[in-house]
Chain A
Amino acid sequence: MRSQAMFFQRRSGEALADARLRRNLDGLRDKFVGMRARAVSAYADHGTATVPNPDFEALRDAGAAIRDRVLKDLDVWLELFEHKATQRGARVHWAKDGREICEHVLAIARQHGITKVIKSKSMLSEEAQLNVALTAAGIEPVETDLGEYILQISGNEPPSHILAPAAHKNLDEVADLFAEKHGKPKKTEIPALTREAREVLREHFLSAGMGISGGNFLIADTGSVALVTNEGNGRMVTTLPKVHVVITGIEKIVPTLEDFATLMRLLPRSATGQEISNYVSVCTGTKGEADADGPEHTYFILVDNGRAGLVGSEFQEMLRCIRCGACMNHCPVYQTVGGHAYGWVYPGPMGSVLTSLYTGLENALDLPHAATLCNQCGVVCPVRIPLAELQRKLREKQTERRLRPWTERAALGIWAWVAQRPALYALAAKLGVRYLRWLADGQNYIKVLGLAPGWTAGRDFPAPQEGTFRELYKRRQENRT
């Protein structure tokens, strides 16, 4: 997906002006935040106990430790995975970037004479713009995750949330879309709409020669891919077609099934507030002789696309991410502008960090700054990624590479220079207060602040009291002696 991240200001402005989107986002926030909170407080029968729940906090520690253990020796775990997966009849390919993902998929499709592909959700295929490549090669891609399907028939819209790709749309918008695209009478109930989508998709499930899925985890010890879904489409995609292609990032690996089980205690609770998702599939190798179903050919495409460069760097913690979406669900900025404003595949706090690191700092200048650093993301992250701190570090990187606008650098430079000179600073503060009080013109609030129009566009600026603290304190001390 071509990044639009440099247009964050404009795109977030459009989002703010979209009243329907704002209402949809409000509903989403209440739902996701509430569901996670209930799941976390109920964890380990903690009932109504303290917040934060100590058992869940210990679980977060365990999750972070598993991810760190993998990242420390990522190459070793990947080699083990390749070995085990190959032993079970799968083929493992490596892709450096999105272009190589597409090349591998197209080569596999050609080899098996594929004309139609069914897909369950894969953010990597978004990174690679795989659907565009498939379509150009004459292969029909069909998204089977309900959200992704909605976006595909809505003119190939990009997802706005990593779990709920169509989170920006409400029921009525989807009902209108289905009526138009399916040529059927408009339905107003969710079950009727999902049934209608199922009927359309069933045809594709039975006629596609290849299924493409992402992978929530790769299990090194068994050479398996684990899929966590709620709709069951993932299971169809991975078992019905004769060819199954798994596309995942190289960081998705965990050592053992037991580690997977630990992370599964964290993932659904953090993501949707479920104790367990509706479907958890662990797929190993190809269809065996005793198996009733399963693919005859299994391929893994393990993708770098910027990940290897983070290993050993000060941003390595970002690779712990298990894609639960809790950070965006709890982010005041995401809650206000939604996912599309971020401009690339991943939105919210994790998206600001990943977009900067994977597409280049210079292509996402606003993203690390588009955060209040409230750290609600860091507090809910199931694997304790210090997301606010990583965003702040990215700001440092931008400064080091002189990517910030000169006006901002100059303002900051002058301020810092003055702040190191107390006498000058005291004078500047005194004059600043005089100036602000002159602007306030006897009122308690300033309606338009020329130096910071961003502030007063949406709120008043409280006028300062008369005199700085240091002036008044000095006067007080003099009066006392």
Chain B
Amino acid sequence: MKVALFVTCLVDLMRPSVGFATLRLLESAGCNVHVPETQTCCGQPAFNSGDRQAALALARKTIAEFEGFDYLVAPSGSCADQIRTAYPGLFTDDPEWRRRAEALAARSYELTQFLVDVLNIQHVPGEFSGSVTYHDSCSGLRSLGIKAQPRQLLAQVPGLTLREMPEAEACCGFGGTFAVKFGDISAAIAETKCTNALAARADAVVGGDLGCLMNIEGKLRRMGDETTRVLHVAEVLAGAPAAPGGKAG
């Protein structure tokens, strides 16, 4: 099974350890994983900012890079949703590209969705000593229906206890460029999310989208919380060491 890893631009830039954790999970599940070298971004920032032309250009590029594999897997519900849901709709006047977009969309998955719904894995390599609370990211939850999959996988991690936070499904306030354009509103929404996350009294907040996680981590620290770890679900499931470069600092 040839699986192409869509790293996502945020993981590439900010937290490669998530990409390596994803690799480890896929490889330990027996996938033959490829990482197309020329990949950059799925184009969602342009799409959500209203720049359809830029979104189209990046969609064509991504489709061409990934259509030769059996599956595309991304450690992000948001990027996976862009490819699955938004791509086909971009090519309303172009039947040939629309067909290609639909073909890729049907084979594109968010990581936890792929591990559960396609591979049905029963064992994950990771170990975790302590409790976690899971934040459901918006696109993954409301567009792709990802809710049970990450919890099912976390339940397989030895030593891990899941403690649900109140309003786990509520938006964290990230919203891509919204977080910068309306930073004060975004931070206020993040504060509500963090207050709920802290109420779970877990050792770590875990989620499937790095954008949300950076928002939550940044707000927790600004609120004075220095101890609650903020981790991508891939990092917890893989139990992999940090990326070869190590943590910042």
> A interface vs B, CB < 8 Å?
9, 12-13, 16, 332-333, 335-337, 369-376, 378-379, 392, 394-399, 404, 408, 412-413, 415-416, 419-420, 422, 425, 429, 432-433, 437, 440, 442-445, 452-470, 472-473, 475-476
* Bound-complex Cα distance A462 to B210 (A): 11
* Bound-complex Cα distance A9 to B180 (A): 12
Cβ of B95 within 8 Å of any chain A Cβ, yes or no, is: no
A392-B50, A472-B20 given; A458·B57 CB < 8 A: no
* Bound-complex Cα distance A12 to B218 (A): 22
**A379:B142 contact, CB within 8 angstroms:** yes
Number of interface residues of B (CB under 8 A): 72
* Bound-complex Cα distance A372 to B142 (A): 13
Q: Which of A372, A463, A466 contacts B171 (CB 8 A)?
A: A372
* Cross-chain pairs A/B with CB under 8 angstroms, 14 sampled: A371-B175, A372-B189, A376-B171, A412-B54, A422-B40, A440-B249, A457-B187, A459-B218, A464-B14, A466-B246, A467-B244, A467-B245, A470-B37, A472-B245
**B215:A472 contact, CB within 8 angstroms:** no
Supplied contacts A332-B189, A454-B181, 20 more A-B pairs, CB within 8 Å? A336-B185, A371-B175, A395-B48, A398-B50, A413-B51, A419-B41, A452-B183, A453-B183, A454-B182, A454-B184, A458-B187, A458-B191, A459-B190, A459-B218, A460-B219, A460-B221, A466-B248, A468-B16, A469-B243, A473-B19
Output the least CB separation between A424 and chain B (Å). Answer: 10
Q: Which residues of B contact A374 (CB under 8 A)?
A: 138, 142, 171, 175
**A455:B13 contact, CB within 8 angstroms:** no
Interface residues of A, dominant DSSP: helix
Cβ of B170 within 8 Å of any chain A Cβ, yes or no, is: yes
* Bound-complex Cα distance A458 to B58 (A): 32
* Bound-complex Cα distance A392 to B219 (A): 26
Output the least CB separation between B177 and chain A (Å). Answer: 8
B14 — nearest CB in chain A belongs to which residue? A464
Q: Which residues of B contact A463 (CB under 8 A)?
A: 248-249
Q: Which of A443, A457, A470 contacts B183 (CB 8 A)?
A: A457
**A461:B246 contact, CB within 8 angstroms:** no
Contacts between chains A and B (CB distance < 8 A), count: 220
**A454:B51 contact, CB within 8 angstroms:** no
* Bound-complex Cα distance A412 to B19 (A): 25
Binary flags per residue of B147-173, CB closer than 8 Å to A gives 1, else 0: 000000000000000000000011101
* Bound-complex Cα distance A457 to B189 (A): 14
Q: Which residues of B contact A453 (CB under 8 A)?
A: 183
Cβ of B109 within 8 Å of any chain A Cβ, yes or no, is: no
Output the least CB separation between A24 and chain B (Å). Answer: 15
**A458:B186 contact, CB within 8 angstroms:** yes
**A332:B46 contact, CB within 8 angstroms:** no
Binary flags per residue of B237-249, CB closer than 8 Å to A gives 1, else 0: 0000011111111
Q: Which residues of B contact A396 (CB under 8 A)?
A: 50-52
* Bound-complex Cα distance A337 to B170 (A): 16
Output the least CB separation between B222 and chain A (Å). Answer: 5
Q: Which of B138, B214, B215 contacts A373 (CB 8 A)?
A: B138
